[in-house]
Amino acid sequence: MVMLNVNVEKLSDLLLERGWSQQRLAKELCVNPSYVSLVVNRRRNPSSRFVSGVLSAFPSVRFEELFKVS
C-alpha cells in the first residue's frame, strides 16, 4: 500500500509564516479540522483534495517539500 505523508515540520512553518492555525487551513481547504489533525498526525492519508488544496494555498512550495511517498 502506498502511503503519502505530510512533512509536518514544513507545513507547520508555512502555517506559522501565514499566521494560520490548522483550523484555518481546514477552512481554506473546505475540510473538517479533525481531518487536518488526522493527516498531520499520520493517522490518515491525505486526500487528493487536501494535497491540491495545500499546494494551491502555498504555490511557492513544491510537492516534494511537503509530501513524501512511502
What is the predicted pLDDT for the residue at 36? Answer: 97
What is the predicted pLDDT for the residue at 2? Answer: 80
Mean residue pLDDT of the chain comes to 95
Confidence of residue 25 (pLDDT cuts 50, 70, 90): very high
* Closest by Cα among 48, 68, 69 to 7: 68
Q: Is the pTM of this model over 0.85?
A: yes
SS (H, E, C) the chain: CCCEEECHHHHHHHHHHHCCCHHHHHHHHCCCHHHHHHHHCCCCCCCHHHHHHHHHHCCCCCHHHHEEEC
Average pLDDT over residues 36-61: 95
Domain 4-63 grouped into CATH 3.30.750.210: no
Domain ranges of the chain: 4-63
